[in-house]
């Protein structure tokens, strides 16, 4: 069965070139010129893998990735970037995407990454199908005292107590829990949670209200109340144990 690939790039020449390269390999390829069109396409079509440009007017590649991770988590994503200025952010994003390629990438690089991504998606679907029930085991964390964190539904449960998280709170908690013990800078977290780049000076001010609201909700659960830890002058981490 042929794989469905979506190319997202605001440059017509780059978009057509990528589309042609992939079609020659036998893939079913669709292309769109901007992030909003990509989101609409993903909501109405099955997409196995998406290649998305980082810098686009309007909704940029990072914002598209955030939406796709929520609406179509099985879709593998390759990020195209010509901008070394946010290298740290791209490294952080590798936790959330299959790969990133520096533009201009050669056809051989593109095809190798696509093949690897589609192979990973197939393995992921097989392992998920082997899990009883509809939820992937990675979506649900059960802590020692029985507290259950369901990241897909953005819910925390303990006995009769249930707390619902907003999308931004849910993304923040997911990033921290999936990378237990890893310190994320304020800037990285703004990029990963809110989907835009900001200065190291502005990032703490943007994050502070969100972290405060999340911590307030976590206070109701003894095993979570102290887990989101501030690292002075740097950022935050999730402290397991």
Query: 182 and 100 share a domain?
Result: no
Query: 204 and 124 share a domain?
Result: no
- Per DSSP bridges, beta strands 161-164 and 184-185 are unpaired
Nearest alpha-carbon partner for 236 in 139, 83, 92? 92
Query: 17 and 119 share a domain?
Result: yes
Taking CA atoms, 227 is separated from 155, 176, 189, 238, in Å, by 16, 10, 16, 5
Kindly report the number of other CB atoms within 10 A of residue 80's CB atom. 23
Looking at residue 65, what is its pLDDT?
Answer: 85
Query: 12 and 119 share a domain?
Result: yes
Query: 72 and 148 share a domain?
Result: no
pLDDT band at residue 149 under the 50/70/90 scheme: very high
- Picking from 113, 129, 145, the residue at the C-terminal end of a domain is 129
- Picking from 129, 152, 174, the residue at the C-terminal end of a domain is 129
Segment 123-136 shows an average pLDDT of: 43
Query: 169 and 199 share a domain?
Result: yes
CATH of the domain at 102: 3.40.50.2300
Query: 14 and 101 share a domain?
Result: yes
Query: For residues 120 and 16, what is the distance between their CA atoms, to the nearest angstrom?
Result: 26
Query: 102 and 147 share a domain?
Result: no
Ramachandran sector of residue 58 (left: φ over 0; alpha: ψ -120 to 50; beta: rest): left
Segment 219-226 shows an average pLDDT of: 92
Find the Cα–Cα–Cα–Cα dihedral 129, 79, 90, 227, rounded to 10°. -30
- Specify the DSSP element, H or E, that contains 87: helix 87-93
Looking at residue 175, what is its pLDDT?
Answer: 86
Query: 171 and 220 share a domain?
Result: yes
- Picking from 75, 103, 129, the residue at the C-terminal end of a domain is 129
Number of domains in the chain: 2
Query: For residues 204 and 187, what is the distance between their CA atoms, to the nearest angstrom?
Result: 8
Query: 173 and 205 share a domain?
Result: yes
Lowest mean pLDDT among 18-32, 54-68, 91-105: 91-105
CATH of the domain at 201: 1.10.10.10
Query: 160 and 74 share a domain?
Result: no
DSSP string spanning 225-240? Answer: TTTEEEETTTEEEE--
Query: 117 and 199 share a domain?
Result: no
Domain range for 227: 137-238
- pTM of the entire predicted model: 0.54
Query: For residues 238 and 236, what is the distance between their CA atoms, to the nearest angstrom?
Result: 7
Q: What are the pLDDT digits (tens) for 177-198? A: 888 888 888 988 888 787 777 7
């Amino acid at each position: 069965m042929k794989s469905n690939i979506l190319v997202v790039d605001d440059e017509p020449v780059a978009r057509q070139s990528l589309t042609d390269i992939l079609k020659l390999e036998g893939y079913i390829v669709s292309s769109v010129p901007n992030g909003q069109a990509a989101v609409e396409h993903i909501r109405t079509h099955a997409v196995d893998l998406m290649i998305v440009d980082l810098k686009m007017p309007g909704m940029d590649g990072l914002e598209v990735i955030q939406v796709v991770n929520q609406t179509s988590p099985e879709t593998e994503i390759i990020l195209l970037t010509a901008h070394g200025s946010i290298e740290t952010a791209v490294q952080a994003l590798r936790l959330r995407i299959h790969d990133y390629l520096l533009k201009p990438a050669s056809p051989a690089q593109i095809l190798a990454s696509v093949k690897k991504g589609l192979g990973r998606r197939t393995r992921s679907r097989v392992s998920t199908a082997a899990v009883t029930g509809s939820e992937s085991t990675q979506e649900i964390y059960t802590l020692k005292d029985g507290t259950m964190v369901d990241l897909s539904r953005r819910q925390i449960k303990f006995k009769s107590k249930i707390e619902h998280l907003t999308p931004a709170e849910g993304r923040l908690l997911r990033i921290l829990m999936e990378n237990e013990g890893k310190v994320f800078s304020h800037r990285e977290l703004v990029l990963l949670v809110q989907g835009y780049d900001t200065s190291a000076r502005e990032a703490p001010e943007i994050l502070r209200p969100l972290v405060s609201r999340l911590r307030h909700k976590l206070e109701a659960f003894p095993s979570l109340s102290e887990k989101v830890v501030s690292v002075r002058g740097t950022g935050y981490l999730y402290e397991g144990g």
